Amino acid sequence: MSPYQYAANNPVIFIDINGDSLEIVGDENQRQLALEAIRQGLPPEVRDAVQLMEINGKFFVSDIILNEAKGLTKSQEFLALRQIANSPGMAQLQIADENLQFQYFDKSIGQSVTTSFGQLGEAFQGITFTTDIANTIYDRTNIVSNVPGVNQSFVRSSMSMENIVQLTAHELYGHVHPQLMGQRASHYRVGDSFDQKIMQIMQRALQNFRRR
C-alpha cells in the first residue's frame, strides 16, 4: 500500500488537518445555527459530542470529542458524522441566506457558475456539490464542487429550524458521507433506493429533533 493511501494517493488535493474534515463556514451566527442543526438531528445522548474547534481561524467539528462518544449510540447518522470528521476527504457546511453567492463547476461548459438560493428558487432548500469523482453510473453529473477536493453543502436559512435540521441531515449523511465512503452520492430517480434512503435519513432527523 502507498504511504499516501490516507489521502486516496493524492495528498496535494486531499488535505486532512488532524482528521478535522468537516468545516463549518460562515459568520458566528451561521456557525451556531449549523452546529445546532447537526446536534438536533442526532439522538439526545450524543448532542453534546458535537463541538466546534478553531484551527487557524477556521472552525471544524471536533473529531476528538466525537470519537470519545463512540459507543454511546447506535445512530447511523452519528456514525456517519464521525466518519466525515475523521475522513481524509474535506467537507464544508454553511447555512446560507437567499442572497449568499456560491459557485459550482459545470463540466459541460468547462467553467465556474455563480448562483444563490434566491436564483435557484424554492425548489432548492439545500444543495451539495461533491468532488469530481464518479463513484457509480448515477454519479456522472456535470455539476461538481468548485473547490478541488472539498465537498460543499449549503442549506437555506429562511426555513423553520425543523426543516433546517432535516435538510442538514439530508446533505451531510445523504450526499457528503456516501461520497467520502466511495458510494453512490447523487439522486437519479424519485422513489428509487437512494431516494428512499434519503427520506429515511430525514425522518430520523425529524424524530430526533422532536425528542428535545
DSSP labels for 24-47? Answer: EPSSHHHHHHHHHHHHHTS-GGGG
Residue 9: the pLDDT is 55
Residue 4: the pLDDT is 55
Q: What is d(CA 185, CA 76) in angstroms, rounded to the nearest whole number?
A: 16
CB-count exposure of residue 109 (10 Å: 0-12, 13-18, 19+): exposed
Q: What is d(CA 105, CA 88) in angstroms, rounded to the nearest whole number?
A: 22
Residue 2: the pLDDT is 60
Q: What is d(CA 14, CA 8) in angstroms, rounded to the nearest whole number?
A: 7
Residue 191: the pLDDT is 85
| Annotated domain spans of the chain | 5-209
Extract the C-alpha cell encoding 53. 474547534
Sole residue written with cell 451566527: 29
Cα distances (Å, whole numbers) of residue 130 to 3, 101, 104, 146, 182: 25, 17, 10, 9, 12
- Residues of the chain with pLDDT below 50 are 5-6, 13-15, 17
By the 8 A CB rule, do 65 and 76 touch? no
For residue range 41-52, list pLDDT tens digits in order. 999 999 999 999
Cα distances (Å, whole numbers) of residue 86 to 82, 111, 126, 190: 6, 31, 24, 31
Q: What is d(CA 94, CA 203) in angstroms, rounded to the nearest whole number?
A: 21
CB-count exposure of residue 206 (10 Å: 0-12, 13-18, 19+): middle
Cα distances (Å, whole numbers) of residue 23 to 9, 35, 55, 172, 198: 22, 11, 10, 12, 22
Residue 187: the pLDDT is 85
Residue 14: the pLDDT is 47
Q: What is the pTM of this model?
A: 0.87
For residue range 89-125, list pLDDT tens digits in order. 899 999 999 999 999 999 889 999 999 999 999 889 9
Q: What is d(CA 207, CA 212) in angstroms, rounded to the nearest whole number?
A: 10
Radius of gyration of the chain (CA): 16
pLDDT above 70 as % of the chain: 87
